[in-house]
Amino acid sequence: YTTWGPGGVGVFLALMYIGGCSGSTSGAIKIYRHQILYKLVRAHVKRLFSPNRVITLSYNGAPVPDDVPYSILAFLAVFVATIAVFTVALSFLELDILTAYSATVTAITNVGPGLGPIIGPSGTFQPLPDAAKWILTLAMLAGRLEVLALLVMFDRDFWRY
């Protein structure tokens, strides 16, 4: 697919963020979260045109509690920040930015081959430095366990009780 040009690579990179259904072990953003985010953005755009309009988000005919969109936005922020941190960590190991970014997204979302000259569809992760493999192992754990669940381990109150 890398012979399809930059457009094809961009499409595959975007598709890497679409995850499984609720309850799956996919590290990418779950379909449920994508659906709620779509409804949230659509409601926000409608409010731009009608500021006094009251819009209740619903999913499968049931109203979505007010805290759900905020928790999804919090997850999305932590997800993006995690990708940024791991990408920067890999770039410190002198990997090109496409390889560092796609390796991070591949590891966190548990999706197919990466992109770039080293880990592309005809490459492997074998030539990466050992430190990069350890960093990507942590990224895989972060994706598998869901990023927020992993961050709970760093909360002092979690260990106190």
pLDDT digits (tens, 9 = 90+) for 75-85: 899 899 999 99
Spatial separation of the C-alpha atoms in residues 68 and 71, rounded to whole Å: 5
What local confidence, expressed as pLDDT, does residue 31 receive?
Answer: 87
- Would you call 79 helix, strand, or coil by DSSP? helix
Residue ranges making up the domain that contains 14: 2-160
d(CA 115, CA 18): 17
User: Which one, of 28, 37, 6, 38, lies nearest residue 83 by Cα?
Assistant: 28
pTM above 0.85, yes or no: no
Cβ atoms of 115 and 12 closer than 8 Å = yes
Extract the tokens encoding 39.
Answer: 């409804």
Q: At what angle do helices 97-109 and 130-144 cross, to 10 degrees?
A: 40
pLDDT digits (tens, 9 = 90+) for 84-119: 999 999 999 989 898 899 899 999 988 877 887 888
Q: Where are the alpha helices (DSSP H) in 22-121?
A: 31-49, 67-91, 97-109
The total domain count for the chain is 1
Mind listing the pLDDT tens digit for each residue in 16-50? 888 777 777 777 888 888 999 999 999 999 999 99
